[in-house]
């Protein structure tokens, strides 16, 4: 009987550990540095926003959120690294339109982004902006289209890699205007800017934070934003849709984690990000680079990713592009 009683007590103890383990982990999280994988080169718009948020999260938790740039393959190198990392909350992935686009653009990805990750938090919404070399003899979208038609195949546009919104904005523009431009992919938009400034490559449809920095510095000329309506941060810049009706390419930034990451840790991170997005100092920094903070629950962010994946699938099909 004593042995039976001891066994029962042992089983009860194990059940107690099983039911209390996850909350205990969440309560202790994070107790060491967290790495945040970024799919593009340092200095670009994704990197800039990641560093703003990582500073806030580091201060909130008292542990470092370390930005780790894994550039290449349109952000898929970083995504693959995240998917294959332990699902313990200590590896996160910066999520952007490239993750939604790659699902349909790349034909042989070794992972399924929606299946193999869990949504954590939304950061902000943003538009792209068409900026051109100051050596280009154009000052409006209409003049740019006319120039391209008069010089077929002689105009090249940079991107931050295949499958990014920067790339697909260019492909959508080509498809909707009938112009012929040459695509030149880089491992991040920051790397492309010296070539655009020197007119080796003539333009880029970059995420607003990067494009805005270059136009404010007087390095490039802004022609239009890719949102349907004029963007709040740059109301003086016309939309491309004012010249090309229906043209739209609006993106999002956020955080995901490997599938299997404990829900309690996801919720802990989500609350911290949403708290940061209510901090006037963080809001000021994000709006200064053209972003619109968009706090969401993990479920809401997951729906956004699913909706964006379907939206970009239609764009990929319309533009008729793919990457093997």
pLDDT, one tens digit per residue, over 157-171 is 999 999 999 999 999
User: Is the distance from CB of 183 to CB of 170 less than 8 angstroms?
Assistant: yes
pLDDT of residue 209: 93
DSSP for 277-324, written as a single string: TT-HHHHHHHHHTT-EE----HHHHHHHHHHHHHHHHHHHHHHT--B-
On the question of pLDDT at 17 being above 70, the answer is no
Instruction: Please compute the mean of the pLDDT values over residues 174-179 and round it to a whole number.
Output: 96
Could you report how far apart the first and last alpha carbons of the chain are, in Å? 67
Instruction: Please compute the mean of the pLDDT values over residues 104-118 and round it to a whole number.
Output: 95
Instruction: Please compute the mean of the pLDDT values over residues 171-195 and round it to a whole number.
Output: 96
On the question of pLDDT at 1 being above 70, the answer is no
Instruction: Please compute the mean of the pLDDT values over residues 272-293 and round it to a whole number.
Output: 96
pLDDT of residue 27: 77
On the question of pLDDT at 7 being above 60, the answer is no
pTM (2 d.p.): 0.86
Instruction: Please compute the mean of the pLDDT values over residues 250-258 and round it to a whole number.
Output: 96
pLDDT of residue 113: 97
Assign 324 a pLDDT band (cuts: 50, 70, 90).
confident
pLDDT of residue 23: 53
On the question of pLDDT at 147 being above 50, the answer is yes
pLDDT tens across 189-213, in order?
999 999 999 999 999 999 999 999 9
Q: How many Å apart are CA 231 and CA 248, to the nearest integer?
A: 12
| Collapsed DSSP state (helix, strand, coil) of residue 76 | helix
User: Is the distance from CB of 89 to CB of 30 less than 8 angstroms?
Assistant: yes
Q: What average pLDDT does the structure give for the chain?
A: 92
């Amino acid at each position: 009987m004593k042995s039976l009683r001891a066994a029962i007590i042992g089983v009860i103890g194990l059940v107690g550990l099983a039911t209390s383990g996850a909350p205990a982990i969440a309560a202790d999280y994070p107790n060491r540095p967290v790495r945040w994988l970024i799919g593009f080169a340092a200095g670009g718009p994704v990197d800039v926003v990641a560093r703003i948020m990582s500073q806030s999260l580091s201060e909130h938790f008292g542990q470092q959120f370390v930005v780790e740039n894994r550039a290449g393959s349109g952000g898929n190198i970083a995504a693959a690294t995240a998917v294959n990392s332990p699902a313990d909350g200590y590896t996160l992935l910066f999520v952007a339109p490239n993750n939604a686009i790659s699902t349909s653009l790349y034909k042989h990805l070794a992972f399924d982004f929606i299946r193999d990750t869990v949504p954590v938090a939304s950061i902000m919404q943003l538009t792209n902006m068409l900026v051109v070399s100051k050596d280009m003899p154009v000052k409006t979208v209409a003049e740019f289209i006319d120039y391209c038609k008069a010089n077929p195949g002689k105009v090249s546009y940079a991107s931050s890699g295949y499958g990014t919104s920067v790339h697909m904005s260019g492909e959508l523009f080509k498809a909707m205007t009938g112009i012929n431009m040459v695509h030149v992919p880089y491992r991040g938009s920051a790397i492309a800017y010296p070539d655009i400034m020197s007119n080796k490559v003539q333009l880029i449809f970059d995420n607003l934070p990067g494009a805005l920095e270059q136009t404010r510095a007087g390095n490039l000329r802004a022609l239009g934003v890719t949102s349907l309506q004029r963007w709040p941060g740059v109301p003086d810049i016309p939309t491309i849709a004012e010249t090309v009706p229906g043209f739209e390419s609006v993106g999002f930034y956020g955080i995901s984690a490997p599938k299997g990451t404990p829900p309690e840790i996801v919720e802990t991170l989500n609350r911290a990000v949403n708290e940061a997005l209510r901090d006037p100092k963080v809001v000021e920094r994000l709006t200064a680079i053209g972003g619109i903070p968009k706090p969401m629950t993990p479920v809401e962010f997951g729906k956004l990713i699913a909706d964006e994946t379907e939206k970009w699938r239609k764009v990929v099909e319309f533009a008729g592009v793919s990457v093997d």
